[in-house]
Amino acid sequence: MIKSMRAGVLMMGMSAGGLAQGTPAIGLPPPETTGGMPLMQALKARHSAREFADRALPPQLLSNLLWAANGVNRPDSGKRTAPSARDWREIDVYVATAEAVYRYDPPTHTLVRVAAGDIRALTGVQDFVASAPLNLVYVADLDRMHDADAEQQARFGAADAAFIAQNVYLFCASAGLATVVRGLFDPVALGKALRLGSRQRILLAQSVGYPARP
């Protein structure tokens, strides 16, 4: 019964092109956690790419990508595929598409819509970010970093975001996707578009899509 209800929510939340509007939280398909490229081959294939095909990622592939990035891989504890200092779990992954921007919620494996509209161009200064099918933005919530001073917040937050970015790199290498991590963006404009609070910090962004050339 629960499975059929989840499927119904997913169907309402998805369009032919991938993500759609109209639901506050969109259920993703369960991630496929078997198969894929062997680790050493993925490391050999890992590289940055700045050209992307104009083609949205299908829901299952998006689900797998986000789970690989920072999904729950130990349900008994809620711990993630990426480590975090002192188990703060302070990094949120925002997902900017051509239709809207979402926040990935690992415990429920859902996308929570933050705002409608296309904000991809705000996720970086390079021209290609505006047309990359998917831009991930890694945001640290400083309120979760208990007893950390400003220097520790900056250092640990950057490390934790980088772990997630590398997970995405390895997944993309395995899945035949193109990706590049980026650190240049207007934090004020992007923070406003993401509706961030004063205690949230944008650390990195990462573009993902099918490669422009096979």
Report the CATH number at residue 178.
3.40.109.10
Asked if residue 192 is part of any domain, the answer here is yes
In angstroms, how far is CA 129 from the centroid of its own chain? Answer: 15
Number of domains into which the chain is organized: 1
Asked if residue 38 is part of any domain, the answer here is yes
Q: Is the pLDDT of residue 210 over 50?
A: yes
> Which domain covers residue 184, as residue numbers?
2-209
Which residues have C-beta within 8 Å of that of residue 109, sequence separation ≥ 6?
27, 28, 30, 31, 63, 66, 67, 71, 72
**Average pLDDT for 10-25:** 48
Asked if residue 76 is part of any domain, the answer here is yes
Asked if residue 214 is part of any domain, the answer here is no
* Confidence (pLDDT) at 23: 56
Q: What is the tens place of the pLDDT at every residue in 118-141? A: 999 999 999 999 999 999 999 999
Quote the CA–CA distance of 85 and 41 in Å, as a whole number. 28
**Average pLDDT for 161-166:** 98
Query: For all residues of the chain together, what is the average pLDDT?
Result: 91
Other beta carbons less than 10 A from residue 130's beta carbon: 16
* Confidence (pLDDT) at 4: 34
* Confidence (pLDDT) at 71: 98
What's the predicted TM-score (pTM) here? 0.90
Quote the CA–CA distance of 143 and 153 in Å, as a whole number. 10
Q: What is the tens place of the pLDDT at every residue in 49-83? A: 999 999 999 999 999 999 999 999 999 999 999 99
